[in-house]
Amino acid sequence: MGMTMTQKILAAHAHLPVVKAGDLIEAKLDLVLGNDITAPVAVTVFDKAGFTEVFDKDKIVIVLDHYTPCKDIKSAQLCRQAREFAARFGITHLYDVGQAGIEHALLPEKGLVAPGECVIGADSHTCTYGALGAFSTGVGSTDMAAGMAAGENWFKVPAAIKVTLTGALGPYVSGKDVILHLIGEIGVDGALYKSLEFTGPGVAALSMDDRFTIANMAIEAGAKNGIFPVDEKSVEYVTGRVDRPWTAYEADPDAEYESEVVIDLSSLTPTVSLPHLPSNAKPIDEVKGMAIDQVVIGSCTNGRISDLRAAAEILKGRKVADGIRCIVIPATQEVSLQCIREGLAETFIQAGCVFSVPTCGPCLGGHMGCMAEGERCVSTTNRNFVGRMGHTQSEVILASPAVAAASAVAGVLASPLDIMKEG
Q: What is the pLDDT along the chain (423 residues), one digit of tens a residue?
A: 799 999 999 999 999 999 999 999 999 999 999 999 999 999 999 999 999 999 999 999 999 999 989 989 999 999 999 999 999 999 999 999 999 899 999 999 999 999 999 999 999 999 999 999 999 999 999 999 999 999 999 999 999 999 999 999 999 999 999 999 999 999 999 999 999 999 999 999 999 999 999 999 999 999 999 999 999 999 999 999 999 999 999 999 999 999 999 999 999 999 999 999 999 999 999 999 999 999 999 999 999 999 999 999 999 999 999 999 999 999 999 999 999 999 999 999 999 999 999 998 888 888 888 999 999 999 999 988 888 988 999 999 999 999 999 999 999 999 999 998 876
Q: How far apart are CA 414 and CA 289, in angstroms?
A: 6
Kindly provide the b/e burial profile for residues 49-82, where b requires at least 16 CB atoms within 10 angstroms of the residue's own CB: eebeebbeeebbbbbbbbbbbbeeeebeebbebb
For residue 95, what are the CA distances in angstroms to 33, 35, 381? 11, 9, 22
Q: What is residue 366's predicted lDDT score, i.e. its pLDDT?
A: 84
Q: What is residue 423's predicted lDDT score, i.e. its pLDDT?
A: 67
CB 213 within 8 A of CB 185: no
pTM of the complete model: 0.95
Q: Which CATH class is domain 270-422?
A: alpha beta
Neighbouring CB atoms inside 10 A of 374's CB total 10
CB 65 within 8 A of CB 360: yes
Which residues have a Cβ under 8 Å from the Cβ of 295 and sit 6 or more positions away? 320, 324, 325, 326, 327, 377, 378, 379, 404, 405, 407, 408
| HSE toward the beta carbon, residue 106, CA cutoff 13 A | 28
Q: Where are the beta strands (DSSP E) in 7-134?
A: 24-28, 31-35, 60-63, 93-95, 118-121
- All CATH 3.30.499.10 domain ranges of the chain, comma separated, are 5-264, 270-422
The DSSP element (H or E) to which 106 belongs, if any, is helix 103-109
CB 99 within 8 A of CB 82: no
Q: How far apart are CA 40 and CA 34, in angstroms?
A: 8
| Region for 252 from its dihedrals, namely left if φ exceeds 0, alpha if ψ lies in -120 to 50, beta otherwise | beta
Using alpha carbons only, give the angle 79, 213, 382 rounded to the nearest 5 degrees.
Answer: 60
Q: How far apart are CA 58 and CA 49, in angstroms?
A: 22
Q: What is residue 393's predicted lDDT score, i.e. its pLDDT?
A: 93
Q: What is residue 397's predicted lDDT score, i.e. its pLDDT?
A: 97
Q: How far apart are CA 60 and CA 148, in angstroms?
A: 7
CATH, domain 5-264, list 3.90.1170.10, 1.10.10.10, 3.30.499.10, 3.30.9.10: 3.30.499.10
Using alpha carbons only, give the angle 136, 176, 354 rounded to the nearest 5 degrees.
Answer: 105
Q: How far apart are CA 47 and CA 68, in angstroms?
A: 24
